[in-house]
Structure 1
Amino acid sequence: MIDWNQIRELRSATGKEDFAVIVDLFLEEVEESLRNLENRTGAEDLRAGLHFLKGSALNLGFTGLSCLCQQGERTGTMDIAEIRGCFARSRADFLAGLGLCEES
């Protein structure tokens, strides 16, 4: 799930060029965070990784991903395949909807 209002607000606040840089950085950081999550040991270490990912996702309007990370943060467990799948779907929806978002 994508929060398009959050995306419009962020793009309006940063400008089109800086927004593109933010998006690229976000997508790279999420990929790196997902790789790092697979190597985390211990509940606190896992919670810290999920907390970072949750905040990053929420800042860019990836609410579904943020919710999954929040659940894992609360329980100290995660289903990395579910998180990866949610990110892949959200990224596809986000990239497909960017053009529509710019028109509104």
Structure 2
Amino acid sequence: MINWNRVRELRDEIGEAEFAEVVAIFLEEVESEIDVLRQQPDLHNLEAQLHFLKGSALNLGFADFSTLCQHGEVAARQGQTSLVDISAILRCYEQSRSVFVHGLPDLVAA
């Protein structure tokens, strides 16, 4: 679900102080897009939304979430928005976020 090696790599590249800021910005920006998907998805903008979420997720190691976003992005690009399982994307994000937030203390301690 979470690529912890990617998370460690990012933390090591930018330092712990900057890492905390990146995590905060990531969660804020992604939550904003997730809220849009949750409340009223814009099917005309779905490809761009999923592309943004995919890229953000990859940067912070949200592997499964990124994969779902990629599949949805491809479907939306092909005009098959009805095949995009927004509920599954939202569930995966929530699960990934929970695993990530609960695993951060172990990462910082390492």
- Give matches, 1:20-59, under 5 Å: 20-37=20-37, 38-42=40-44, 45-59=45-59
- The residue number in structure 2 matching 1:60 is 60
TM-score, structure 2 as length reference? 0.85
Identity across aligned pairs (percent)? Answer: 49
Name the count of aligned residue pairs.
102
Distance 1:95 1:50 in 2: 22
Q: How far 1:99 moved relative to its partner?
A: 1.8
Distance 1:35 1:65 in 2: 15
Letter of the 1:53 partner, please give it: L
Distance 2:73 2:26 in 1: 20
Matched, 1:82 2:88: yes
User: What is the CA deviation profile of residues 79-103 of structure 1, one whole-angstrom value per residue up to 9, with x for unaligned ones?
Assistant: 2221111111101101111122234
Q: Which runs of 5+ in 2 are unaligned?
A: none
Distance 2:41 2:27 in 1: 19
Distance 1:88 1:82 in 2: 10
- The residue number in structure 1 matching 2:108 is 102
TM-score, structure 1 as length reference? 0.89
